[in-house]
Amino acid sequence: MTGMTIAEPGEGKNTLLAVEDLTVGFRTARGYADVLHAVSFRVEQGRTTCVVGESGSGKSVTCQAILGLVPRNGRRTGGRILFAGMDLAAADEATLERIRGRGIGMVFQDPLGSLNPLHTVGAQLRETLRLHTDLSELQRQKRALDLLAMVGIPEPEQRLASYVHQFSGGMAQRIMIAMALACEPQLLIADEPTTALDVTIQAQILDLLNRLKAELGMAILFITHDLGVVAEMADTVVVMRHGRVVETGPAARVLSAPEAPYTQTLLAAMPRLDVAAPVYRQRSAR
Ligand SMILES: Nc1ncnc2c1ncn2[C@@H]1O[C@H](COP(=O)(O)OP(=O)(O)OP(=O)(O)O)[C@@H](O)[C@H]1O
């Protein structure tokens, strides 16, 4: 594999992803401006890190930079992105493509916009597996079926022949998760994956992600503006504002005793978040 492998003396042995001093700027009609300012955080193996912040705080650009998908008018001007010891910021495009296919799975807010409407769900899963694994045709068919069953799609055999528009929003998001997990990634990046769903379906998708995390031992980098979702998902919380990390720490500590004034403001705007996560579920399911 190309790309630089870096020994990290200070890195914890369970760190899967370390974003260090990441700085990204964009050129627009109004000139050049940095939108990420030396962003640093870690994702541990098998754990969930939630990045939370209001709209425009830089959450999505952070994901794009990790995946090497910053829009053309943007540029990373500093920092390192160490994934399993390799600096993705220094990796070539072929390596990044391989990592995006196999090492890191991605789920976005809009599954209908991310899946191909012209091919059946089965064809898309099989194609992903053909590109990124050595499985035979028969094995790919079986794995596609297993993946749909794993994400809780009823009658998976019939559903493999369906097109994405034939699924409800929640079911389409399950398909997107199946696609993202097809090659057994070590890390799943989920950028507001439940924002477009109603609260009951949202809770089901969060449950699914938590179950898959436990079953597969993968790490999750979860992007959200919703502290209720953070309470459901996070082991570690990264709070962002205006392109900067203003606070980071274990979820239990950040949610119960936030240190940054901005985190305190976010929590104060979130009634009853001081009570435990299951209460959020009861409230949201009403
Ligand atoms: N292609 C682009 N060109 C110029 N500026 C951009 C571009 N993409 C993002 N930005 C700017 O970068 C900043 C961070 O945006 P980003 O989308 O990461 O925020 P976010 O926290 O994900 O917000 P949201 O929850 O609304 O998606 C914003 O000020 C945004 O306007």
Predicted confidence (pLDDT) per residue in 151-182, tens digit: 999 999 999 999 999 999 999 999 999 999 99
Q: Is residue 76 within 8 Å of residue 62, measured between CB atoms? A: no
CA–CA gap between residue 222 and residue 6 (Å, rounded): 25
pTM comes to 0.89
* Cα→Cα distances 276→90, 209, 233, 262, Å: 41, 19, 12, 21
Bridge-based pairing state of the strands 219-224 and 48-52: parallel
Split at pLDDT 50, 70, 90, the class of 109 is confident
Domains of the chain: 47-52+92-285 (3.40.50.300)
pLDDT in tens, 189-199: 999 999 888 88
* Ligand 1 binding residues, C-beta < 6 A: 26, 28, 35, 53, 55-61, 71, 73-74, 225
**76-101 confidence digits (pLDDT tens):** 999 999 999 899 999 999 999 999 98
Ligand 1 atom at minimal distance to the Cα of residue 61: 18
Q: Which two tokens mark 5? A: 């492998």
Q: pLDDT by residue (tens digit) across 7-19?
A: 444 456 799 999 9
Ligand 1, closest atom to CA 191?
22
Question: Cα–Cα distance between 17 and 244 in angstroms, integer?
Answer: 18
Give the span between the Cα atoms of 142 and 117, in whole angstroms: 22
Say how many Å lie between the CA of residue 51 and the centre of ligand 1. Answer: 14
